[in-house]
Structure 1
Amino acid sequence: MPTGQPIPVIIDCDTGVDDALALLFAVRHPGIDLRAVTCVAGNTDVDGVVRNTLTVLEIAGAADVPVARGAARPLIEPARSAQHVHGADGMGDLGLPAPTRRPADVDAVTLLRREILASPRPVTLVPTAPLTNIALLLRTHPEVTRNIERIVFMGGAVATGNATPVAEFNVWHDPEAAAVLLTAGVPITMYGLDVFERVVVPGEQVRRLRGSAEPGARLAGALLSHRPAGPGTVASADPARDADPAGGIGDAGAVCAVVDPAGITTRLLPVEVSLAPGPARGQTVVDRRARPGEAEIHEGTREQALVDVALDVDVDRFVRLYLDTVAG
C-alpha cells in the first residue's frame, strides 16, 4: 500500500471487459487519484466505449470523474473491433444500464492536455487501448510531456501476439500511433501479453465477487466470469463459467503495476513497432540480445526507444492486490 500522496492517473481506454476491470480498480485504490478517463475506438466503437465507461464509473461510485470521447478510428487503418471477444455491447452483453450523464463537452485530446497540465504533480498516463488518442496528444501538444511522470501502457508482446501470431491487438489496431508513443521522451513501461495473460483470479474468488451485495464488486465478478463466444457468434451465457468462472484481470494488471511496480519484473530494452505491410505489421520488436548482431555491424545502429518491458509478474501478489482493492 502507498504511504505517500495518491498518484495522479489518467486512463485512456476502449472499455470492454478488462478495461472495465481496470477502471474499477483505479477508482477504488487509495493510492490512485483518477483525474480523467478518455475513450478511443478499439474493443467496440467509440460511442459504445463512452457509454460503457460512464456506466462503469457510475456503478463504481465515481460519477464525478470526467470522461471524454476520442478518436473513432486509427490514424491510417479503418476501425476493427473486438466484439467477438467482448460481446456485442463491448461489455460481455451483461445488460448493464445506460449511463445517466453525458461525457465532457471537450474531445479526448483537449481533456488529456487540460488534466495533465493542471495536475499539481506529474501524471502517470495509463493507456489500455489502441494508442490513437495518445499519438494525437503527443503530436499536437508535446508540452504535456513536462508533466507526465511515466506512461504505463497495456500493449505489445515480446513473444506471441493475439491479433496476429506476433502482434498484440492494441498495437496492431494502430501501429503508427504506437510508434509515436515510443518517441514520447518520458519513461515508458510496456505491460504486454507476456504478463497480461497470466494474472487470473481463481473461480472461488470470482464467485465470491459475483455474490457480493456491493454493485462494483458484483460487476467485477460478472466481468471476470465473461467468456468470449466462438467465431461468428455473439458472446452469450456459458454454462462452463458457473463451474469454473476463473478469469484474468487483463488491463487491470497495468494499473496494478502503477501502484505496485515491484509486482512486475522489467528490463530496459530497445523496442520498435513494425509498420510495413504484411504478417509482421504491428509487432513490437523487443531486442533482448546481449550484443549487436550482423545487421548493426554492417549497417550501423538505428536509434530505438528504450522501454521498461515487463517480462514477469508475481501472479499471486497482483491477484491479492486486485481482490483487496475491488472487494474491499
Structure 2
Amino acid sequence: MTGEPIPVIIDCDTGVDDALALLFAVRHPGLDLRAVTCVAGNTDVDGVVRNTLTVLERAGAPDIPVARGAARPLIEPARSARHVHGTDGMGDLGLPAPTRAPAAVDAVTLLHREILASPRPVTLVPTAPLTNIALLLRTHPEVTSNIGRIVFMGGAVAVGNATPVAEFNVWHDPEAAAILLTAGVPITMYGLDVFQQVVVDGPEVHRLRASDEPGTRLAGDLLAHRPTSPGGPAEAEEAGGLGDAGAVCAVADPRGITTRLLPVEVTLAPGPSRGQTVVDRRPRPGESEIHEGRREHALVDVALEVDADRYVRLYLETVGR
C-alpha cells in the first residue's frame, strides 16, 4: 500500500453486515474513517445509533463522531428488516450498551461539516437507505466539491430481495436513491449481484469466533448469525456473507470488482417495480429511444463481477489486525 489513507464517511443502518463494514473500515490502514451517520433501515434509527457506537467500542476505534439521522424515508413509513437482523438489529447477540455518546449534531450537519473539513476529497459509503444522503445533497449541494466518489451498497441489475426486482436499501427510500444518482460526482453501485457472492466459509468464521480479541470475535459472531446453507453440515451453516462490508472492501481495493459505466434510473411509480434500479446494458438504443428520444439517465459504475476470494482474504487479514 502506498499513499495516504482514503478519507471515508460511512452512512449506515447498523445491522449485522453494516457492523461488519464498520469493523473493516476501522482496521484497514488504507482507510481514514472520519465519521459515521445513522439512518432508519434494518432497525429504528435509535437502535442504529446504539449498535454503531457498540461496534466502534468493540473494534477499539478512536473517538469517531457518530450522528443520528432520518427516522423514516422521505415519503414512505419506515419498514425494518428485523426478521433478518434480529430484534435489536445485531443478531440478538446480547451486546452491552455503549458507553460512548453520539455527536450533539444531526447526521446532515455532521456530513456537511466533515466533508468540507477533510483536507482531501472524501469517499462517501452509504450502506443503508439513502435518506440522509438525499437530505444532504438537497440542503448542502456545495459538499459535492469535496466528495471524490460515492460507493453505495444498493440496487440490483438482476434480482431483488425486498421485491423480485428491488433491493432493500433502494426500495426503502426510492426517492432518496433517485436524488443520489443526480449528485454530479462519480458513483459506484455495489449491488446485490456482487453483494451475495462474497462469503466467508465456516472454518474461518469459527476461527474468528474463537478469538480473544473483542472486535475479531464480534466479526465471527456476526458472520455466523445468517447461515448461507441452513440445514447443511455444521461448517456450512456457520458460513456467512460479508454483505455491506464488500462495498468498503471495494473502496480499499477497487480492483476486486469489475464495473461498467452504465445508465441507471430508479423506478418511482407505485406498483411491483417500485424501487427497482433499471440498468441499461444494451449495446445500442432501442425502439423507445428511436421513437420517443433519449431520456436523461445517471451514468454509474455498476459492479457486475467480484473476486470473492480476494475480498474474503482482505477482510480476514484486516479484522484480525
Match of 1:159 in 2: 158
- Kindly provide the amino acid, as one letter, of the partner of residue 319 in structure 1: V
Match of 1:62 in 2: 61
Match of 1:108 in 2: 107
Offset, 1:327: 1.3
In the alignment, the residues of structure 1 paired with residue 106 and residue 118 of structure 2 have an alpha-carbon distance, to the nearest angstrom, of 18
In the alignment, the residues of structure 1 paired with residue 29 and residue 238 of structure 2 have an alpha-carbon distance, to the nearest angstrom, of 28
Does the 8 A contact of 2:122 with 2:148 survive in 1?
Answer: yes
Match of 2:38 in 1: 39
For residues 85-126 of structure 1, give each alpha carbon's deviation from its aligned partner in whole angstroms, at most 9, with x where no partner exists. Answer: 000000000000100021000000000000000000000000
Does the 8 A contact of 1:54 with 1:63 survive in 2?
Answer: no
Match of 2:182 in 1: 183
Offset, 1:184: 0.1
- Kindly provide the amino acid, as one letter, of the partner of residue 226 in structure 1: H
For residues 24-74 of structure 1, give each alpha carbon's deviation from its aligned partner in whole angstroms, at most 9, with x where no partner exists. Answer: 000000000000000000000000000000000000011500000000000
Q: Structure 1: 5+ residue runs without aligned partners?
A: 229-237
Worse-superposed segment, 70-79 or 242-251: 242-251
Task: Please list every run of at least 4 consecutive aligned residues from structure 1 whose deviation after the TM superposition is greater than 2 angstroms.
Answer: 238-244
- Kindly provide the amino acid, as one letter, of the partner of residue 83 in structure 1: R
In the alignment, the residues of structure 2 paired with residue 4 and residue 202 of structure 1 have an alpha-carbon distance, to the nearest angstrom, of 32
1:89 has 2:88 as partner: yes
Q: How does 1:1-328 map onto structure 2 within 5 Å?
A: 2-227=1-226, 244-328=237-321
- Kindly provide the amino acid, as one letter, of the partner of residue 202 in structure 2: G
How well do the aligned residues superpose, as a CA RMSD in angstroms? 1.4
Residue correspondences, number: 319
In the alignment, the residues of structure 2 paired with residue 102 and residue 316 of structure 1 have an alpha-carbon distance, to the nearest angstrom, of 37
Does the 8 A contact of 1:187 with 1:307 survive in 2?
Answer: yes
In the alignment, the residues of structure 1 paired with residue 236 and residue 306 of structure 2 have an alpha-carbon distance, to the nearest angstrom, of 27
In the alignment, the residues of structure 1 paired with residue 45 and residue 234 of structure 2 have an alpha-carbon distance, to the nearest angstrom, of 28
In the alignment, the residues of structure 2 paired with residue 216 and residue 274 of structure 1 have an alpha-carbon distance, to the nearest angstrom, of 39
For residues 121-178 of structure 1, give each alpha carbon's deviation from its aligned partner in whole angstroms, at most 9, with x where no partner exists. Answer: 0000000000000000000000000000000000000000000000000000000000
In the alignment, the residues of structure 2 paired with residue 97 and residue 13 of structure 1 have an alpha-carbon distance, to the nearest angstrom, of 20
In the alignment, the residues of structure 2 paired with residue 133 and residue 56 of structure 1 have an alpha-carbon distance, to the nearest angstrom, of 21
Worse-superposed segment, 317-326 or 242-251: 242-251
Does the 8 A contact of 2:201 with 2:235 survive in 1?
Answer: no
- Kindly provide the amino acid, as one letter, of the partner of residue 186 in structure 2: P
In the alignment, the residues of structure 1 paired with residue 266 and residue 163 of structure 2 have an alpha-carbon distance, to the nearest angstrom, of 14
Offset, 1:239: 10
Does the 8 A contact of 1:227 with 1:241 survive in 2?
Answer: no
Match of 1:231 in 2: none
In the alignment, the residues of structure 2 paired with residue 243 and residue 301 of structure 1 have an alpha-carbon distance, to the nearest angstrom, of 48
Q: TM-score, normalised on structure 1?
A: 0.95
For residues 198-257 of structure 1, give each alpha carbon's deviation from its aligned partner in whole angstroms, at most 9, with x where no partner exists. Answer: 0000111000000001100000000000028xxxxxxxxx99766631100000000000
Q: Secondary structure at the match of 1:256?
A: helix
Residue 120 and residue 80 in structure 1: after superposition, are their counterparts in 2 closer, same or farther (change >3 A)? same
* Percent of aligned pairs sharing the same letter: 85
In the alignment, the residues of structure 2 paired with residue 243 and residue 73 of structure 1 have an alpha-carbon distance, to the nearest angstrom, of 36
In the alignment, the residues of structure 2 paired with residue 307 and residue 241 of structure 1 have an alpha-carbon distance, to the nearest angstrom, of 40
In the alignment, the residues of structure 1 paired with residue 264 and residue 81 of structure 2 have an alpha-carbon distance, to the nearest angstrom, of 25
Q: Secondary structure at the match of 2:132?
A: helix
Q: Structure 2: 5+ residue runs without aligned partners?
A: none
Q: TM-score, normalised on structure 2?
A: 0.97
In the alignment, the residues of structure 2 paired with residue 227 and residue 116 of structure 1 have an alpha-carbon distance, to the nearest angstrom, of 34
In the alignment, the residues of structure 2 paired with residue 100 and residue 63 of structure 1 have an alpha-carbon distance, to the nearest angstrom, of 13
